[in-house]
Amino acid sequence: MTRLETPDPELQNSFLEMRNITKSFPGVRALDGVSLALRPGEIHALVGENGAGKSTLMKVLGGVYPHPQYGGEIFISGTEQKFSSVRDAEKAGIAVIYQELSLVREMTVGENIFLGREPRRFGVIRWEELYRRARELLLDLNLQIDPHVAIRSLGIGQQQLVEIAKALSHNASILVLDEPTAALTDSEVETLFVILNKLRDRGVGMIYISHKLNEVLRISDQISVLRDGKTVGTNPTSAWTEPRIIASMVGREVGDIFPVMDHEQGEVVFAVENFSVSDPVITGKKLVDNVSFSVKRGEVLGIAGLMGAGRSDLLMAIFGAHAGRVSGEIQLGGRRIQIRNPADAIRQGIGFVTEDRKRFGLVLDQTILNNMTLAGLRRISGRFVTSVDAESAAGEQAMKELRVKANSVFTISGTLSGGNQQKVVLAKWLLTNPRVLFLDEPTRGIDVGAKQEIYAQINKLARSGLALVLVSSELPEVLGLSDRVLVLHEGRVTGEFSREVATPEQVMACATGHVNRGGLGAPIDQGAVAQARVGRERSL
């Protein structure tokens, strides 16, 4: 390691400096001279479109791409570092928390925190000391989590916080958080921010990667924007606005992010009556309780609600993919249908862009073409013998229409950015020629540019006469895309609003349990609306 002899005058107080970092893959230059500096007790946000180079840069910092697989220099407290492994980066005080958590579900919280570093004596693990240290670490972060419980018993929000505790158990002075709030509720986000502010006060430097620009503007001290593997701007947060960040990310000014929903509605295509879903684990508990709804040709029906409201359970059960007991009636085109499994749903003309694209939407080690034609190959190519030419033509056409950025349809899907992966999932279901399309969190974890393209595609599909059911945790997305909004709370319908009268406060009031008893668009208790407004303002 060498000492940094001539530091940048503006970065004299930085204890992390990445200089002119370059990284290439076959045919792609992922990073092109990127520089980033971090000071003690600073939260430095890193934003950019999917594929801009954010994750690649952090993998360089975290030792995933060891030296000399990249170009440029990394300095910590003035000393140059050349990491040959993740462990080298950890020894230097760097901890990276990726969006896909690395916890072992069957092990306890304490075991996960000290996995591979258990306190031992004569080779024997000292369990009492392990759990004592884990408890002290959790309490120090104000986390009321029992270190003896298994990870599988915790919600995703608590698991995210355990991951942070695990990172800090390494005595990390530099903490990288990649989309830390993607699956968190508003209250869990507040808990996370309290912890991050506490760490900031202690002098821990943090790099915060997120597509949620309102959170970035709220929590960070500095913001750097990457585009096409290059740094296009670094400024104090006070100098940024959301429109300016978006313009820097996509290279152009972006107006209203949601398209004008200019489609005409026809007859009812799909309907569900008195639909209930039982919890497969807890006897007697209903995840969905007596829900009824319908959706018309050319209509976008939005389903809103807080995490745990039963939105995804409802769609999974209708599609025949839920483990819990299901009751109720499903109608398609005015006739009752039976769906016992996803294959039945596909044959009936129902498509489903699932919430977790990597787990349920894609075969990551297969090509774009194989993924796109996975559900509709019989329709595309024939029943008995696969026509390679017909399959390739359909895939290339879908890739062109959805503007998937890749070298060819034979590119491996796992190498694509999140936004392009989502387009491949959408193409897969469109190639089945569905009559109804379920969209569960269709823009989760993708950047604003890709979001706009997905929004435009949703509008195009509705104009073509497709019936769409949209679930999203982002309330502006539900309100901006839906013709009608159905609100769930604890598995039950608590409100229904037309596009013209739906407001964030009304929807949030219903999502927290205040029932709109007056029917479509009827006003609800104004005290509940005021309470919901205060809650939203506190979360912003």
CATH architecture for the domain at 262-349+436-453+464-540: 3-Layer(aba) Sandwich (3.40)
Q: Which residues of 148-167 are buried (b: 16+ CB within 10 A; e: fewer)?
A: eeebeebeebbbbbbbbbbb
User: Contact, 361 vs 353, CB < 8 A?
Assistant: yes
| pLDDT tens, position by position, 145-159 | 999 999 988 877 788
DSSP bridge partners of 31: 23
Spatial separation of the C-alpha atoms in residues 253 and 231, rounded to whole Å:
18
Tell me: the pLDDT tens digits for 494-505?
999 999 999 888
| % helix, strand, coil for the chain, step of 5 | 35, 25, 40
The amino acid sitting at 426 is L
Which one-letter DSSP state was computed for residue 150? B
Determine whether 41 is exposed, middle or buried from the number of CB atoms within 10 Å of its CB (0-12, 13-18, 19+): middle
Burial grade of 78 (CB within 10 A; 0-12, 13-18, 19 or more): middle
Phi-psi region of 531 (alpha: psi -120 to 50; beta: other; left: phi over 0): alpha
Digit-coded pLDDT (tens) for 443-479? 887 777 788 889 999 999 999 999 999 999 888 889 9
Q: pLDDT value at position 535?
A: 47
**Domain assignments of the chain as residue spans, ordered by start:** 1-93+173-180+205-254, 99-172, 262-349+436-453+464-540, 361-433
Superfamily in which the 1-93+173-180+205-254 domain is placed by CATH: P-loop containing nucleotide triphosphate hydrolases (3.40.50.300)
Quote the CA–CA distance of 95 and 170 in Å, as a whole number.
8
Rounded alpha-carbon distances, angstroms, from residue 210 to 40, 72, 181, 229, 358: 20, 25, 8, 17, 19
118-124-127-132 Cα dihedral, nearest 10 degrees? -60
Determine the Cα–Cα distance for residues 238 and 294; give it in Å rounded to an integer: 46
Summarised one tens digit per residue, pLDDT across range 352-371 is: 999 888 888 899 999 999 99
% the chain with pLDDT above 90:
56
CB neighbours of residue 193 within 10 Å: 16
Domains 1-93+173-180+205-254 and 262-349+436-453+464-540 share a fold: yes
Question: Beta-carbon neighbour count of residue 409 at 10 Å?
Answer: 24
The whole-angstrom separation of Cα 376 and Cα 370 is: 10
Q: Which residues of the chain are modeled with pLDDT < 70?
A: 1-14, 27, 50, 183, 252-256, 307, 382-386, 517-540
The alpha carbons of the chain give a radius of gyration, in whole angstroms, of 25
**Sequence-ordered list of residues with C-beta below 8 angstroms from that of 391, at least 6 positions apart, any chain:** 369, 373, 377, 380, 381
Please check whether residue 46 is in contact with residue 36, taking contact to mean a CB–CB distance below 8 angstroms.
Answer: yes
